[in-house]
Amino acid sequence: MGAMTPTSTEPVLPSLDDPVVRAGSEVVGGPAGRRIRFVGNRWWSPVRVLVLLAVACFALGIMQKKPCYDGGWFAGSTQYSHACYSDMPHLYVNRGLADGKIPYFQETGDKDMKFLEYPVITGGVMAFAGTLARAAGDLTDGDLRDEQLWFVMINALIMMACAVVTVIAVKGTSGRRPWDAAMVACAPALALNGLINWDLVAVALTAVAMWSWARRNVVVAGVLIGLATAAKLYPVLLLAPLFLLCLRSGRLVAFAKTAAAAVVSWLVVNLPVMLVYDGHWYNRHDWYIREGWKLFYTFSQDRPADYGSVWLIIQQRDGKTLEGLNTYVTLSLVLCCLAIAALVMFAPRRPRFAQVAFLIVAAFVLTNKVYSPQYVLWLIPLVVLARPRWRDFLIWQACEVTYFLGVWMYIASFSGKGLSQNAYHVVILLHLLGTAYICLVVARDILRPERDPVRADGSDDPSGGVLDRAPDVFVPGVIPARAGH
């Protein structure tokens, strides 16, 4: 494969490596000099700085939701016009958490959603926060609105912890580039979207899984992928790039261990909720799948084209429901995955794990029936690991922040002034183009490895674990690289 050994073991300094950071450093005296290399030996280590940045960024996100704390969540379109919407206070009541209902085992009492429509680990986090919120409400003699605010604040602390874990994991996965994790810690979309839903639980588990793989702990990585999939569906997609990369490098045993561990850990947390025994020793023994558990999967399959997707644009332009939507979505995703597989197998040099993981998850996001604003959280760590350049990251973040504002303004228009349907379509396209732009840049780096910032110093794949500096044993062919193309 021709992988080179890095010329140095010292951390890469962004002010010397990244053009945007280098230009910005002129405000404080120019790029860092040789003395800055010793900063890691003092109290202000990269980990501590990154944690403080993540906490500060998330705290700004909590403050951004302030217009909703005084009843804005329940005052008409205020939560949309002030862009402070969150699922949390609404689901606390609508999913029976305020009444102490046990997710999956008891009905919510909501006629529109009979059971909780989230995977089991997310449901467990919701139930845990609900228990604490009810206890806090009892201690303070608060009413239901007070409990809802307690519920949001408790979840805010949990999500902040998940954000910190994600940043630390990205730092660990980055190898000699610890400061790349600052992009995760300071991401505007992290502040704006971190409190909409519980996606950061899966994001943190996925980030730690990638860190474990980078440290060659293949079984631990598999366990964490399985747990992450039990919190949100998208982490299971990481098994696809691992399979392709292990196939090319002849490391299929490592992949088999990871995949098996993922399946076992997913079953361990799901089986107690999924299976119901209904039978008697004198009659018959019958096992069946609990209705409350499978709602997440049937709901995802049955939902129509929704906010943020290209399918919604097509449907609204046509003025009628898009028939065969699931077929179109599946076919689009399969075609994208085939293209990514061809890129992995025919690239002149084996791609990095983070690059392929990003492309797979991005393909899922771009072809999905819905794009909720918080889905951007899935991509933030992957973008940073796949393409650690502030310019590209900020371009993409600008598109995502525009979409964040646009979707709330569009919903606000249902009850008053807001964004028109045509304008909302433009916002959707901007989000799609921003994500597609990063995909194209990453694909370019794969085809021309010399353009990859991570490999510029001779490194191979810091996130690759057993794949790092491993020779290829199965390469169907190579896409020839042409100068200037």
pLDDT in tens, 44-86: 788 999 999 999 999 999 999 999 998 889 877 889 999 999 9
61-65, 142-146, 149-153: least confident range: 142-146
How many Å apart are CA 240 and CA 359, to the nearest integer?
11
Position with higher pLDDT, 158 vs 21: 158
How many Å apart are CA 130 and CA 67, to the nearest integer?
22
Q: What average pLDDT does the segment 239-261 reach?
A: 97
Position with higher pLDDT, 305 vs 259: 259
Closest CA to 369 of 457, 318, 428, 305: 305
pTM: 0.92
Which residue's entry shows tokens 């799609």? 432
Q: In angstroms, how far is CA 326 from the centroid of its own chain?
A: 22
Closest CA to 444 of 347, 371, 379: 347
15-24, 313-322, 469-478: least confident range: 15-24
How many Å apart are CA 278 and CA 289, to the nearest integer?
11
Using pLDDT thresholds of 50, 70 and 90, give the confidence band for residue 25.
Answer: low
Give yes or no for residue 442 having a pLDDT over 80: yes
pLDDT of residue 411: 95
End-to-end CA distance of the chain: 22
Q: What average pLDDT does the segment 293-313 reach?
A: 89
pLDDT of residue 283: 47
303-307, 363-367, 433-437: least confident range: 303-307
Give yes or no for residue 470 having a pLDDT over 50: yes
Residue 273 amino acid letter = V
Using pLDDT thresholds of 50, 70 and 90, give the confidence band for residue 19.
Answer: confident
Which of the 8 DSSP states describes residue 466? G
Closest CA to 207 of 350, 341, 337, 357: 357
Give yes or no for residue 302 having a pLDDT over 50: yes
pLDDT of residue 321: 81
pLDDT of residue 111: 85
Q: What average pLDDT does the segment 419-425 reach?
A: 95
| DSSP per-residue string spanning 162-181 | HHHHHHHHHHHHTTT-GGGH
Position with higher pLDDT, 300 vs 153: 153
SS3 per residue for 365-376: HHHCCCCCHHHH
Q: What average pLDDT does the segment 345-370 reach?
A: 96
Strand, helix or coil at 288? Answer: strand
Structure tokens at 31: 């790029």
pLDDT (tens digit, 9 = 90+) per residue, 126-142? Answer: 999 999 999 998 888 87
Crossing angle of helices 376-386 and 199-214, in 10° steps, is: 20
pLDDT of residue 279: 54
Q: What average pLDDT does the segment 386-411 reach?
A: 97
Using pLDDT thresholds of 50, 70 and 90, give the confidence band for residue 483.
Answer: very low
Position with higher pLDDT, 376 vs 323: 376
pLDDT above 70: percentage of residues in the chain: 90
Which residue's entry shows tokens 């919120």? 133
pLDDT (tens digit, 9 = 90+) per residue, 234-249? Answer: 999 999 999 999 999 9
How many Å apart are CA 254 and CA 409, to the nearest integer?
48
How many Å apart are CA 290 and CA 232, to the nearest integer?
19
pLDDT of residue 288: 78
pLDDT of residue 1: 45
Q: What average pLDDT does the segment 194-221 reach?
A: 97
Q: What average pLDDT does the segment 401-417 reach?
A: 93
Give yes or no for residue 471 having a pLDDT over 60: yes
Q: What average pLDDT does the segment 373-396 reach?
A: 97
| Mean pLDDT (the chain, rounded) | 90
pLDDT of residue 28: 54
Position with higher pLDDT, 214 vs 324: 214
Helix or strand run (H / E) with residue 74: none
Give yes or no for residue 35 having a pLDDT over 80: no
